[in-house]
Amino acid sequence: MAAAPGRWEQKTADIMDKTEIIASEPHALQTMIDPYHPEADEPSPTASMSLIGLLQKQLQGEASSGWGLTCLPRPWKFPMEDIEQQSKLDECPKHVLPTITIPEAVVAGPRPLFPEIYFSVYTDQDVESVPPVTNIASSLIRDACLDTINILHFNRNVTARSLIEVDCYFSPKTFIARATPFDRLRDVEAGKSTWKPEDVAVDAVFSQLFSLPNPDHKLIYYHSVLTEACKQAPAAIAPSLGRAIRYLYRNIYRIDLELINRFTDWFAHHLSNFGFTWKWTEWVGDVDLPVLDPRKAFVLGAIDKEIRLSFAQRIKNTLPEPYQSFIGPDMEKDVPDFKFANDGKLNPNLQQSEYTFSNSVLTLKQRRPLRS
């Protein structure tokens, strides 16, 4: 459609009429993989975020606007000043490509049993830093990022570099310049894009990391991709990760428990790769919350996992004063107390049974015949 919309317009309209039946019907299993569990009177942010339904609406919007598809590059179109080059390209000989035969039956595997939901960690911002779901660019760019993540899963370095350079594979005006601070997006002229390529990349990785019921690859793979991307472009990726962390922390009350556990594991693991540094002062107001509060439980869980990845004294030095009480004396011990050190605390019955067992072992050893 980007190359010749007039040629395929009728065929595309016929296909969209057939897909409308499936796309307009909500999937029966969509509520099972919804990452959000809001209150009874609040709708889920992803209630209407089925990927098939969104794509159908986006295609209908493109059809009504003449199939602009502005995010797709058109290398066969030269600027107006390059008329000579454009004429040479138009008059060059054209070759017929061989026909692609699509198999009638394709073994899709167990994954398509569940629908796909468009999950984003940048949905509640006052300025759009990622394509909105009403724009078909959100599906096209996300699809390219997911292919990169899933196909190059054997090399996290190449995957991270390709995600950072996502703006090179779409139209020049699709994204704003890399590493543009979020505050400067408010000063962008009307009509120009405010989409940040690093936000799009981070958003795609989190959509897979938080995929229910299970992601396609091991969780450590997505951890390593985000870590490698942050190492390759710290000025661009680090602020995007910070805003993603704050979004997840704000919405932790309504996020699925499994995803909270994944978030806690990733957060502690990510900090371990960057000196355990984080702006803990932003969450000081939540220190006095009950232990069962989701935010308090997340903080306690993250600190405990940090200690497991390092040691208590080091983690304690990275925390502000209000968090110091979370690391008690028992957590600062290098080795746990030996439970048999104090004989007075042992159970007499247990001591007798251990004595009997020891005598039995000695008796067996005494009866064992000696080898010549």
pLDDT in tens, 339-362: 777 766 555 555 444 444 445 544
Last residue of a domain, one of 273, 292, 317: 273
In a domain, 321, yes or no: yes
Query: What are the pLDDT digits (tens) for 59-84?
Result: 999 999 889 899 999 888 888 888 88
* Residue 90 counted as domain residue: no
pLDDT for 139 beyond 60 = yes
CA separation for the pair 141, 204 (Å, rounded): 9
Same domain, 239 and 128: yes
Q: Which domain holds residue 309?
A: 275-358
Higher confidence at residue 321 or residue 81?
321
Task: Give residue 305's pLDDT.
Answer: 95
Whether the Cβ atoms of residue 78 and residue 85 lie closer than 8 Å to each other: yes
What CATH code is carried by the domain that includes residue 214?
Answer: 1.25.40.180
Range in 137-146, 181-190, 240-249, 353-362 the model is least confident about: 353-362
Beta-bridge partner residues of 255: 36
Looking at the DSSP assignment, which residues form a beta bridge with residue 117? 50
- Tally of structural domains, the chain: 2
Boundary (domain end) residue, out of 208, 243, 273 = 273
Domain boundary among 228, 248, 273: 273
Same domain, 295 and 205: no
DSSP 52-67: HHHHHHHHHHHHHTT-
Helices (H), 24-134: 51-64, 83-91
Using a pLDDT cut of 70, give the percent of the chain over it: 91
Same domain membership, residue 184 and residue 241: yes
Checking if the pLDDT of 273 tops 90, the result is yes
